[in-house]
Structure 1
Amino acid sequence: MATIYDFTVQAINGEQQPLKQYEGQPLLIVNTASKCGFTPQFKELQELYEKYKNQGFTILGFPCSQFNNQEFVNIDETLSYCQMNYDVQFPMFAKVDVKGENASPLFKFLISEKKGLLTENIKWNFTKFLVDSNGHVVSRYAPQTSPLKIENDIKALL
């Protein structure tokens, strides 16, 4: 059975990064955007990361510009914006497509593991996938779901 550890993603510096390095850690994988109405969720995501990182929890942010081009063209601008405005310290990766023909293999996998309420496709920025320490997708959360509302689900995996 496939897990997220079978995937390699592009790091923000352009290098390939195996997700196997996160093996044994619960993860929250989020498609993000810097110019979205949900962008303030970065604050709550960072709060969760700070609170639980020493227990092995990690958040992985994947910028995406597929929904109304709400992400900077330059990835350095994205990273700078997230750090300056929300003090984001959790790992951020290169921009990805999360739907369609060019969707990232990771996001194709996430979607195949946890379909959305009405459709399997990701409908907007800040869709969140909770992954257990064995690399299995255990929950999917809608963009409007506050990251703090996921806290009890995270604690259950620690």
Structure 2
Amino acid sequence: MGVYGFSAKAINGQEINLEEYKGKVVLIVNTAGKCGFTYQYEDLQKLYDRYKDKGFVILGFPCNQFDNQEPDSNDRIQTNCLLNYGVSFPLFQKIDVRDGGATPLFRYLSSQKPFEGFNPFHPVAKILIPLLNDKHPEYLSDDYSIKWNFTKFLIDADGEVVKRFECTTDPIDMENDIEKLLEAVSV
């Protein structure tokens, strides 16, 4: 079953059963428009453009749980993503991805692969890690919860979580993993 047992509301309000993506390689990302990692939208779009015709899709889930970095309405989020980053991959309505209010999909995703740490050499990590240690040490108190915006889950064509990438993994650095899963789909 994997992620195919879940549904979510598209940014336009339409309920989408994730089974629609069965047979595709899927990257699910929690996003935010005013984050130090927001630039990743651009590279996510590049990956989407490069592989969408080969069975790859990205699903973006805006979230405002991390220092109020996605305060906008769903309509404004969609407009900003399109105008500022050319985002054409599917976006969903703003959700919670951690703690008691987390959607069932993100509770499932985060339970499948543990947090493996941030890349301490990433330029934004030099700001993020001290911020988390100082203001939000509770975010780091377990091995599975989402720690920040732009946590990415790579899903195989059967709907199973294959890999988790933290915000300090730039989208382009996931390309080999995506290509391997796409090769398995086309075989």
- How far apart are the structure 2 equivalents of 1:117 and 1:134? 24
Deviations 1:7-50 (A, max 9, x none): 01111122211000000000000000000000000010000000
Query: 2:168 maps to which residue?
Result: 144
- In structure 1, stretches of 5+ residues that fail to align are none
Identify the residue that residue 133 of structure 1 maps to in structure 2.
157
Q: Which structure's CA Rg is the greater one?
A: 2
Gap runs ≥5 in structure 2: 118-142, 183-187
- Counterparts of 1:61-100 in structure 2 under 5 Å? 61-100=60-99
- Counterpart of 2:163 in 1: which secondary structure? strand
1:117 positional shift = 2.0
Q: 1:1-158 residue pairs with structure 2 within 5 A?
A: 2-117=1-116, 119-158=143-182
1:151 partner letter:
E
Alignment coverage as a number of residue pairs? 157
Question: How far is the alpha carbon of 1:156 from its aligned partner?
Answer: 0.2
Instruction: Measure, in 2, the Cα distance between the counterparts of 1:142 and 1:74.
Output: 25
Q: C-alpha root-mean-square deviation of aligned residues, in Å? A: 0.9
Counterpart-to-counterpart distance in 1, 2:41 and 2:10? 19
Query: Equivalent residue of 2:164, what SS?
Result: strand
Q: Which residue identity lines up with residue 47 of structure 1 in the other structure?
A: K
Measure how far apart 1:72 and its partner are. 3.1
* Structure (1 or 2) with the greater helix fraction: 2
Q: Structure 1 length as normaliser, TM-score? A: 0.97
SS in 1 for 2:106: helix
**68-77 vs 24-33, greater mean Cα deviation:** 68-77
SS in 2 for 1:97: coil
> Shift of residue 115 of structure 1?
1.4
Question: 1:78 & 1:72 partners in 2: Cα distance?
Answer: 9
Identify the range of structure 1 (60-69 vs 6-15) with the bigger mean alpha-carbon deviation.
6-15
Alpha-carbon distance in structure 2 between the residues aligned to 1:23 and 1:142:
24
| Equivalent position amino acid for 1:38 in 2 | F
- Give per-residue Cα distances to partners, 1:86-132, cap 9 Å, x unaligned: 00000000001000111010000001111112621111000000000
- Runs of 4+ aligned structure 1 residues displaced above 6 Å come to none
